[in-house]
Copies of this chain bind each other. A is one copy, B any other.
């Protein structure tokens, strides 16, 4: 095989050249998806995508390329990974990655078709990675910040949604995999949501590998300190934010949903808008989780009328196939008992990003009204 001189000159390893023809994933116009992996020495290769209940076998061709064509698949964005003789691996030909605090969990494929998070030909906002001092956690931390398309075009101040991720993710995933920026771009372009800033902080304050039951409470406490004392002041110093609780919302998914309800409900003078995606009273639900939640939020729950005056919206969403439904149902019951107005949306779906992108698209239009 002849290697073009320019490949040598620019340092591309010769060994990569033969795989250049392997394209994966490939999404056809009929929404069938083909995955391919060059693995000539493997005995068995499977692919597992977010839409599957079990892995699908792939077939090897004479060149050692394994492939599987599946579908048609419902339009959405899905993560997937290969298993090569038992070893889980990403798709080496795909630079779309679902990363996280403990390492990457999959590659990502888009099956387009009228999705709320597609990149449309509308004005786009920016996503800024910002580093800030966090005395609360003892170090330099990073936060991602979405600013709406109009941000640079004037001197207006904007309301802020603080949007928290789940266990195992980082401050990058709400934009990279959750596509929060494109969801907001589209809602704003369609006149459905008010232009807003979306702040996506990092929700692990203890090492994410240590996030067992015994450290979860500590993580939420430190997150509360970091958010209130470090993140919000840093954001309000560097971005043009509108002041006061009516201009601040807090929402989160899973672990971040627990943080949102625990921090938000107990700080209604900071956040008038609170939303919980796929989470509830904490843990897997149960009587002790309810008791613990009620103890923590005693002051707020004891005066529902006062809370209702401060709240713009308290929104809970959970999928019927989600293990978090028990805890979410308990949370709704506690709020009901306390006379605190709230919306409890039971939707289709499980504990996945497919649900959370839709929740953001449903929530954002209701904020700051």
The chain A residues found within 8 Å of chain B, CB to CB, are 4-6, 8-12, 20, 23, 39-42, 84-95, 97, 99-104, 119, 121, 124, 126-132, 140, 152, 166-168, 170, 209, 212-213, 216, 237-239, 254-255, 278-279, 282-286, 322-324, 327, 350-352
Chain B residues with CB under 8 A of A278: 11
User: In the complex, which of the residues B4, B39, B126, B351 contacts A87, with contact meaning CB atoms closer than 8 Å?
Assistant: B39
- Contact at A91–B103, with CB atoms within 8 Å? yes
- Compute how far the CA of A104 lies from the CA of B106 in the bound complex, rounded to whole angstroms: 12
- Contact at A5–B213, with CB atoms within 8 Å? yes
- Compute how far the CA of A166 lies from the CA of B7 in the bound complex, rounded to whole angstroms: 11
- Contact at A10–B254, with CB atoms within 8 Å? yes
User: In the complex, which of the residues B10, B86, B92 contacts A167, with contact meaning CB atoms closer than 8 Å?
Assistant: B10
- Contact at B213–A285, with CB atoms within 8 Å? no
- Contact at A167–B323, with CB atoms within 8 Å? no
User: In the complex, which of the residues B92, B119, B132, B255 contacts A10, with contact meaning CB atoms closer than 8 Å?
Assistant: B255
Assess A323 versus B4: contact at CB under 8 Å? Given A84-B84, A97-B97: no
Chain B residues with CB under 8 A of A87: 39, 41-42, 84, 87, 89
Chain B residues with CB under 8 A of A94: 103
- Contact at B103–A12, with CB atoms within 8 Å? no
Q: A20-B209, A84-B84, A121-B140 are in contact. List 13 more A-B contacts (CB 8 A).
A: A5-B283, A5-B284, A5-B286, A10-B167, A10-B255, A11-B254, A11-B350, A12-B168, A23-B209, A41-B86, A92-B104, A94-B103, A152-B238
Q: Which residue of B lies closest to A282 (CB)?
A: B6
User: In the complex, which of the residues B9, B92, B170, B255 contacts A327, with contact meaning CB atoms closer than 8 Å?
Assistant: B9
- Contact at B85–A11, with CB atoms within 8 Å? no
Chain B residues with CB under 8 A of A9: 283-285, 323-324, 327
Chain B residues with CB under 8 A of A128: 126-129
